[in-house]
């Protein structure tokens, strides 16, 4: 099945590429106006219906062509940038890519010029053109920031982009008589050389950066980030700021501008305008754009995973296979559902019928926690946007970086301006969103106490809420369980992301007859876990999010000891060598004989597992449910009847039988009791991002008693 699906997709990709090439040829020959869908179909030897099937309409085909041209230049730039070691070489890489012989020729130049002419009158093309322009300026500025102050970097970046555009334009208009690609590269390079000389020693040197900040894309000076509103970065000159740090080293990664009431109002206004455009598109059209977002996320997986690791302290071996991928999968999933959103027809007899329309809510606020910053942003944005809403997202103040990347990627993929916005800040910024009268819904991931405050604030304007909150989930290992699988499950349930996972099964109930064997195998495997530099691919346990949080976790470990739990393994902060600069705590296992200890009752959100014994099924279910939380639960048993029976009795929103913490996008995720309201993922999320309108349609005269 899979092979067949793959090869069909490959054939479709080839067809799409061929049609785009034919479009480029046609436009180069006959120009923009004379290029028609029928003509392209004829030249490509296919039916006009097939072209429409792939691209929708002529504008869809032309937009895809423009994107293909932009993507080709980007690929060329990325390949050259990977080889470039110094700021000067990086700038050269961008010039070489844009003025490469295959780009700087009559055919390509003519087609670009045709697009530029149309850009002024087409929102669709304007978005693609703006994304392309943004990318070249960002790449140039990023390269230049290592050698020049911000203002100079911006000025020189714009000058270089203008020279490249100007060279293209002149060459095309002059019939390619003035310059060829090599001469064009020389002209641009001479300008850059002069500018670098003018920068003095900082520019003349390589401006090399070392260490993780360089790899994260931060600059030699500190990167300053603000909001992303209406499709572009918005800077507030006199904003209050805070710093975001790498918890593995203490190093400052960026300075972040706090959004106040003015920026939140600006975001709401942009979202209102963007949502009108977005909601007017068909679901399939929105889905096509969202699929591009997912594609770009996957293409940039390694770069985004690296930033996430720097910002959160989580091991790169997790972020590079989970965080970005799960976000992209979620966006693809909801992109697929977007075209199928529908109401229902209701038969009301011969004289009438009714139908329902599933409509977007409007503007939705997303507020994120710090443990899965990009994934949370995607999990909230995907259903919201698929349903035609606009979103204003506030990441947690400890992890502000990747939400902005997501906003940039949305813009690049063609999501209309204002549909996905990011504001930065602390709880006050969050409150500005939850209390804003024009925002119709808020979806928050965070602590139970925060969820309660958000719900109370949302009540004043009667907003819908989705609350993804904390937990203290049980994992039950029956005596007939495959013990190695159960140990694997307990490890997955506790030590991923150094235990900073809301659904973690931190109360591990093991049948007394197998508890000693379970503990022995568990401790042996925990002893082999690798704690270390999160950027090292062999590291399995990275840093906790902050010093304050590490102190909280260490405080719980001290409490566990003081209250009489037996420490099986771990229990200490790790300060070997360079790790002393960061927030590292050993994976820790306690064995406890009472459910009343603080480590058994309260959410620790760190690498601390407690193993408890039990004798009967009824007893363990009662103890598992004796908590105000209800996010998740797991059961290990070979007796599937018992597995289903136990799960049915457990008070939890997200459950596993013979596994733990696996969260396929296709399954709804969320909690019961104090762990939350509403669901993310799965078709169920659609209910939480749409509202129903009922319509009664009379087919006969009205029989009125008046
Ligand atoms: P917090 O509750 O501290 O913060 C969550 C977000 O809410 C942050 O962006 C925070 O801003 C913001 N915020 C805080 N107060 C308010 C307010 N009054 N109004 C509006 N926004 C506010 O959670 P953490 O970031 O510490 O995340 C850890 C918690 O999240 C744990 O309890 C964990 O279990 C839970 N979680 C739940 C998940 C689930 O799906 N159920 C998944 C992941 C985590 P800032 O921090 O910037 O000040």
pLDDT tens column, 135-187: 888 888 888 877 887 778 888 999 999 999 898 888 888 887 778 888 888 88
Residue 397 CB less than 6 A away from ligand 1: yes
pLDDT at 222 over 70: no
Residue 44 pLDDT:
86
What whole-number distance in Å separates Cα of residue 165 and Cα of residue 173? Answer: 12
Using a 10 angstrom Cβ sphere, with 0-12 exposed, 13-18 middle and 19 or more buried, the burial of residue 411 is buried
Residue 616 pLDDT:
98
pLDDT at 406 over 80: yes
Token couple for 11: 């054939």
Q: What is the pLDDT of residues 30-88, one digit of tens each?
A: 888 888 888 888 888 888 888 888 887 877 888 888 888 888 888 888 888 877 778 88
Q: How confident is the model at residue 9 (pLDDT cuts 50, 70, 90)?
A: low
Q: What is the percent of the chain where pLDDT is above 70?
A: 95
Could you give the C-alpha distances from 185 to 90, 161, 162, 286, in angstroms and in order?
A: 14, 12, 13, 39
Residue 203 pLDDT:
47
How many A from CA of 44 to the centre of ligand 1?
Answer: 54
pLDDT at 426 over 80: yes
Q: How confident is the model at residue 8 (pLDDT cuts 50, 70, 90)?
A: low
The answer to whether the beta carbons of residues 247 and 583 sit under 8 Å apart is yes
Known active-site residue 666: no
Q: Which of 222-226, 243-247, 422-426 has the lowest mean pLDDT?
A: 222-226
**Closest Cα to atom 42, ligand 1: which residue?**
502
pLDDT at 95 over 50: yes
Q: What is the pLDDT of residues 622-672, one digit of tens each?
A: 999 999 999 999 999 999 999 999 999 999 999 999 999 999 999 999 999
Buried b / exposed e over 218-229, threshold 16 CB at 10 Å, is bbbeebebbbbb
Read off the pLDDT of each residue in 466-491 and give the average, rounded to a whole number.
Answer: 98
Read off the pLDDT of each residue in 384-403 and give the average, rounded to a whole number.
Answer: 98
Query: What are the CB-based long-range contacts (under 8 Å, 24+) for 200-208?
Result: 202/147, 202/148, 203/87, 203/147, 203/148, 205/147, 206/85, 206/86, 206/87, 206/88, 206/147, 207/86, 207/87, 207/146, 207/147, 208/85, 208/86, 208/146
Residue the block writes with tokens 């068909």: 282
pLDDT at 112 over 90: no
Residue 210 pLDDT:
27
The H-or-E segment that residue 655 falls in is strand 654-657
The answer to whether the beta carbons of residues 308 and 324 sit under 8 Å apart is yes
**Closest Cα to atom 28, ligand 1: which residue?**
446
Residue 453 CB less than 6 A away from ligand 1: yes
Q: What is the percent of the chain where pLDDT is above 90?
A: 69
pLDDT at 13 over 80: no
How many A from CA of 469 to the centre of ligand 1?
Answer: 8
Known active-site residue 687: no
**Closest Cα to atom 4, ligand 1: which residue?**
446
Residue 220 pLDDT:
40
Q: Which of 392, 429, 446 to mutate to test the pocket of ligand 1 (most atoms within 8 A of CB)?
A: 446
How many A from CA of 642 to the centre of ligand 1?
Answer: 36
Residue 72 pLDDT:
86
pLDDT at 213 over 70: no
Known active-site residue 680: yes
pLDDT at 487 over 90: yes
Q: What is the pLDDT of residues 500-532, one digit of tens each?
A: 999 999 999 999 999 999 999 999 999 999 999
Residue 36 pLDDT:
84
Read off the pLDDT of each residue in 693-698 and give the average, rounded to a whole number.
Answer: 98
Could you give the C-alpha distances from 201 to 204, 396, 631, in angstroms and in order?
A: 5, 39, 57
The answer to whether the beta carbons of residues 350 and 357 sit under 8 Å apart is no
Residue 4 pLDDT:
35
Read off the pLDDT of each residue in 230-256 and give the average, rounded to a whole number.
Answer: 93
pLDDT at 209 over 70: no
pLDDT at 251 over 70: yes
Token couple for 614: 């039990």
**Closest Cα to atom 46, ligand 1: which residue?**
396
Residue 10 pLDDT:
60
Residue 316 pLDDT:
97
Q: How confident is the model at residue 195 (pLDDT cuts 50, 70, 90)?
A: confident
- Mean pLDDT of all residues belonging to the chain: 91
Known active-site residue 693: no
Residue 1 pLDDT:
31
pLDDT at 566 over 90: yes
Choice among 378, 502, 583, 655 that is catalytic: 502
Residue 64 CB less than 6 A away from ligand 1: no
* Stated pTM of the model: 0.75
**What number of CA atoms fall less than 13 Å from residue 521's CA on the CB side?**
15
- Helix, strand, coil shares of the chain, percent, nearest 5, are 55, 15, 30
pLDDT at 480 over 90: yes
What whole-number distance in Å separates Cα of residue 92 and Cα of residue 102? Answer: 17
How many A from CA of 583 to the centre of ligand 1?
Answer: 20
Residue 332 CB less than 6 A away from ligand 1: no
Choice among 195, 308, 314, 380 that is catalytic: 380
* Most confidently modeled range among 13-22, 152-161, 436-445: 436-445
Q: 3-state secondary structure string, 19-42?
A: HHHHHHHHHHHHHHHHCCHHHHHH
């Amino acid at each position: 099945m899979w092979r067949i699906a793959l090869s069909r997709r490959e054939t479709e990709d080839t067809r799409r590429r061929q049609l785009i090439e034919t479009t480029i040829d046609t436009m180069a020959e006959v120009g923009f106006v004379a290029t028609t869908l029928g003509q392209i179909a004829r030249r490509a030897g296919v039916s006009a219906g097939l072209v429409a099937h792939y691209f929708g309409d002529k504008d869809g085909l032309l937009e895809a062509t423009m994107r293909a041209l932009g993507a080709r230049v980007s690929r060329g730039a990325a390949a050259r940038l990977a080889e470039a070691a110094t700021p000067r070489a990086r700038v050269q890489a961008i010039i070489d890519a844009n003025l490469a012989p295959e780009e700087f020729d009559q055919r390509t130049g003519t087609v670009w010029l045709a697009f530029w002419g149309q850009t002024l009158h087409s929102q669709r093309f304007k978005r693609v053109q703006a994304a392309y322009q943004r990318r070249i300026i960002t790449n140039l500025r990023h390269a230049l920031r290592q050698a020049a102050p911000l203002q100079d970097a911006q000025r020189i970046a714009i000058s270089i982009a203008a020279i490249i555009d100007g060279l293209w334009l002149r060459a095309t208009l002059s019939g390619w008589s003035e310059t060829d690609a090599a001469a064009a590269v020389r002209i641009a390079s001479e300008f850059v050389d002069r500018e670098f000389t003018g920068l003095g020693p900082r520019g003349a040197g390589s401006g090399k950066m070392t260490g993780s900040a360089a790899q994260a894309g931060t600059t030699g000076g500190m990167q300053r980030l603000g909001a992303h509103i209406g499709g572009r970065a918005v800077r507030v000159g006199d904003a209050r700021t805070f710093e975001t740090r790498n918890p593995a080293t203490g190093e400052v990664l960026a300075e972040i501008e706090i959004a106040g009431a003015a920026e939140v109002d600006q975001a709401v206004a942009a979202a209102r305008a963007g949502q009108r455009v977005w909601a007017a598109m068909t679901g399939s059209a929105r889905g096509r754009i969202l699929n591009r977002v997912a594609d770009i996320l996957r293409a940039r997986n390694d770069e985004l995973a690296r930033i996430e690791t720097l910002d959160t302290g989580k091991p790169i071996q997790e972020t590079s296979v989970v965080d970005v991928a799960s976000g992209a999968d979620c966006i693809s999933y909801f992109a697929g559902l977007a075209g199928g959103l529908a109401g229902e027809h209701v038969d009301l007899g011969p004289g009438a019928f009714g139908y329902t329309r599933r409509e977007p809510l409007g503007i939705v606020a997303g507020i994120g926690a710090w443990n899965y910053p990009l994934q949370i942003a995607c999990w909230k944005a995907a259903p919201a946007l698929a349903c035609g809403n606009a979103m204003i997202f506030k990441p947690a103040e400890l992890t502000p970086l990747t939400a902005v990347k997501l906003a940039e990627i949305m813009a690049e993929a063609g999501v209309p301006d204002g549909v996905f916005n990011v504001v930065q800040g602390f709880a006050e910024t969050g409150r500005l969103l939850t209390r804003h009268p024009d925002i119709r819904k808020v979806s928050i991931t965070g602590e139970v106490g925060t969820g309660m405050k958000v719900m109370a604030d949302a009540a004043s304007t009667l907003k819908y809420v989705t609350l993804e909150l904390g937990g203290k989930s049980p994992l039950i290992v029956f005596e007939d369980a495959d013990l190695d699988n159960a140990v694997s499950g307990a490890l997955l349930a506790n030590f991923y992301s150094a235990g900073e996972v809301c659904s973690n099964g931190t109360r591990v109930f093991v049948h007394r007859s197998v508890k000693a064997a379970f503990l022995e195998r568990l401790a042996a495997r925990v002893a082999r876990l690798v704690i270390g530099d999160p950027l090292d691919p062999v590291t399995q346990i990275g840093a906790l999010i902050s010093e304050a949080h590490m102190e909280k976790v260490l405080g719980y470990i001290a409490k566990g000891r003081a209250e009489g739990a037996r420490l099986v393994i771990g229990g200490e902060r790790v300060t070997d060598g360079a790790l002393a600069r960061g927030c590292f705590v050993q994976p820790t296992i306690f064995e406890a004989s009472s459910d009343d200890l603080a480590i058994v009752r309260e959410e620790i959100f760190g690498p601390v597992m407690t193993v408890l014994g039990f004798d009967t099924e009824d007893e363990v279910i009662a103890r598992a449910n004796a908590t105000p939380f209800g996010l998740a639960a797991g059961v290990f048993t070979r007796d599937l009847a018992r597995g289903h029976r136990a799960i049915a009795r457990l008070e939890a929103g997200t459950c596993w039988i013979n596994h733990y913490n696996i969260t396929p996008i296709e399954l709804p995720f969320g909690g019961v009791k104090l762990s939350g309201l509403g669901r993310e993922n799965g078709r169920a999320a659609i209910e939480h991002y749409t509202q129903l309108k009922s319509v009664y349609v009379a087919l006969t005269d009205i029989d009125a008693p008046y």
